[in-house]
Amino acid sequence: MMSRYLRQGTLDFVPGYKLQTIWGRSEAAVFALECAGAPLVAMAIYTGAGWVALATGLVMVCAAIVLLLMHLGHPRRAWRAILNVRHSWISRGTLALGSVVALGALYLLLGGTSGTTSALAGTIAVVLACLGLFVGAYPGLVLSSSPAIAFWNSGLLPVLSLLQGTSTAVLMVLAFLGQGIDATDALGPWIAVSLLVALALTLALYVSSMLQRGGAAAESARFLIKGHMRQFLLGACVVGIGLPLALALWAALGGHLTALFAIAATARLGGDFALRHAFLKVGMYSPVI
């Protein structure tokens, strides 16, 4: 099936759609890490999950920044990425990621996780919450602004991205809280279940809408389902959504929380990467002839 499509950068003339090759594993890893890490920083503050959870979120965001710098090709010139904030989603995202790291580190220095919060720490917490939501949706905003690739060009993609990141972050927070939760009384496990159900429904709606759109969008959707069956159906859907949903539901009904949420969070992060990578790999456009 792969032979039906052109590869970006090739010169051979073959009728059909062309697969983009600029975005790949590195970008998928950046998206997965930042979309879970930034919301985790904010959630760690508001749920009282502690400094370890907050620091984990910061490490994830820092790892995403390192991968992003490697993608830019010239790390010493990376500061220029924020110069076009008015017109570039990449510039806005780069600035937001840097702000999450700076403000998160400042919050730790102010002792916000120790229970003694100042007015400044409270303000930082609010800003981090806003940044967490933005960073969660940011990859979808970047990709949906690419009109040439019809499969990405949808207002639903930022919503899907946000649900992917926040569901991962919620599971990680619950894993860090662990024994401090009474599943029969707490809303946390049910919030995780609700987010995962919303993610599954949004993903199904997204793929079905692309199949109905026709053209390159429908061809990408078919290639996602048939050409990447193992990665999409098994990795992204079964491991990344189905398994965490089953474990979260079990925990909500009274299961052993710490172990269940640790496994669920790991599976969700792996599935997040698989889904983002699959979406990038099936991006097609019509070559200019």
- List, for residues 56-101, the tens digit of each pLDDT value: 999 999 999 888 777 665 555 555 555 555 656 677 878 889 899 9
Q: What is the pLDDT of residue 85?
A: 58
CA distance 6 to 222: 16
Q: Which domain CATH number covers 250?
A: 1.20.1630.10
Q: Is the dihedral of CA 149, 145, 239, 221 positive or negative?
A: negative
Q: Which residues pair with 19 in a beta bridge?
A: 7, 284
Rounded Cα distance, 20 and 7, in Å? 7
Residue 86: predicted pLDDT: 62
User: Tell me, what's the pLDDT at 111?
Assistant: 77
104: Cβ contacts below 8 Å, ≥ 6 apart: 41, 54, 57, 58, 61, 128
Number of domains, the chain: 1
Q: What is the pTM of this model?
A: 0.86
6-52 pLDDT tens trace:
555 554 444 478 888 888 899 999 999 999 999 999 999 988 888 89
- pLDDT tens-place string over residues 109-150: 887 666 656 788 889 999 999 999 999 999 999 999 888 899
Average pLDDT in the chain: 85
Mean pLDDT of 180-192: 69
Domain assignment of residue 209, given as a range = 2-285
